[in-house]
């Protein structure tokens, strides 16, 4: 019976949770449009086309693929790593920002930031410093070291690697690829990093922090969508 039906599952680009201009003046509308509709969309497209000939991977989420690269055929492993990573990271990144953001974390995350970094200001400086020091394209993360209630730490990853690949649980993430800021900030990545605090979604960061003892895969799946959908 199964052979009579062809089914193809495709990863989907999540909608941006606000309009393109919502994060102005910190991130301009054109950057947001290109970043979401072109860059993120192309990662999803590339991921789908890489998987086309591998039906055994069609039911897997992008995060599962990233965390199980050894089970992905060698022929497409690098493409899957780059594009599933691009897809997962950008999906988190859109949610990490919000217009009219609050200025500071509240509750348990606020306490943890003070315990682990001394103050919110020190944390912000260290996060900016990590972003400035990262050579080339990559991501800056605030994460819980491992997924066992460990301390908060700042990490960077190159390309589109996701921190969950190293077993850490991301709480907050910023994209420091040039495509994230170049139109408005040109070479001034440090200004981008400094201005970014005005649009950080602390509520989402707090929510992630409170789930940080969950398995990353379960958290990703509980967030809904993003499981490949059958298209025919």
Residues within the interface to Fe ion (CB under 5 A)? 175, 177, 180
Q: Least Å distance between CB 93 and Fe ion?
A: 7
Q: Least Å distance between CB 22 and Fe ion?
A: 17
105 to 24, 153, 199, 205, 208: CA distances (angstroms): 21, 16, 12, 8, 12
Q: Least Å distance between CB 162 and Fe ion?
A: 13
Q: Least Å distance between CB 112 and Fe ion?
A: 27
Helix axes 120-133 and 189-196, enclosed angle (nearest 10): 150
For residues 32 and 143, which CB has a smaller minimum distance to Fe ion in the complex? 32
For residues 112 and 199, which CB has a smaller minimum distance to Fe ion in the complex? 199
For residues 152 and 176, which CB has a smaller minimum distance to Fe ion in the complex? 176
Contact 26, 198 (CB under 8 A): yes
The residue whose Cβ lies closest to Fe ion is 175
For residues 157 and 212, which CB has a smaller minimum distance to Fe ion in the complex? 157
For residues 57 and 88, which CB has a smaller minimum distance to Fe ion in the complex? 88
CA distance 80 to 74: 10
Q: Least Å distance between CB 225 and Fe ion?
A: 19
For 87, residues 6+ apart whose C-beta sits below 8 A from its C-beta are 11, 40, 43, 44, 47, 62
């Amino acid at each position: 019976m199964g052979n009579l039906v062809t089914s193809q599952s495709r990863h989907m680009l999540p909608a941006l949770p606000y309009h393109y201009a919502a994060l102005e003046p910190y991130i301009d509308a054109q950057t947001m449009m290109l970043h979401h509709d072109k860059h993120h969309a192309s990662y999803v497209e590339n991921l789908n086309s890489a998987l086309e000939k591998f039906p055994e991977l069609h039911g897997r989420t992008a995060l599962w693929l990233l965390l199980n690269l050894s089970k992905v055929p060698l022929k497409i492993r690098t493409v899957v790593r780059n594009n599933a990573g691009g897809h997962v990271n950008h999906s988190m990144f859109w949610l990490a920002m919000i217009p009219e953001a609050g200025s500071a974390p509240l509750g348990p995350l606020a306490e943890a930031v003070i315990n682990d970094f001394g103050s919110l200001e020190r944390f912000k400086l260290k996060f900016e410093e990590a972003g400035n020091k990262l050579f080339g394209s990559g991501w800056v993360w605030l994460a819980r070291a491992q997924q066992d209630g460990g301390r908060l730490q700042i990490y960077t990853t190159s390309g589109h690697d996701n921190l969950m690949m190293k077993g850490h649980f991301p709480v907050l993430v910023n994209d420091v690829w040039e495509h994230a800021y170049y139109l408005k900030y040109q070479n001034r990545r440090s200004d981008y990093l400094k201005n970014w605090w005005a649009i950080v979604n602390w509520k989402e960061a707090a929510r992630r922090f409170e789930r940080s003892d969950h398995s990353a895969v379960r958290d990703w799946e509980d967030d809904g969508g993003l499981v490949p959908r059958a298209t025919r």
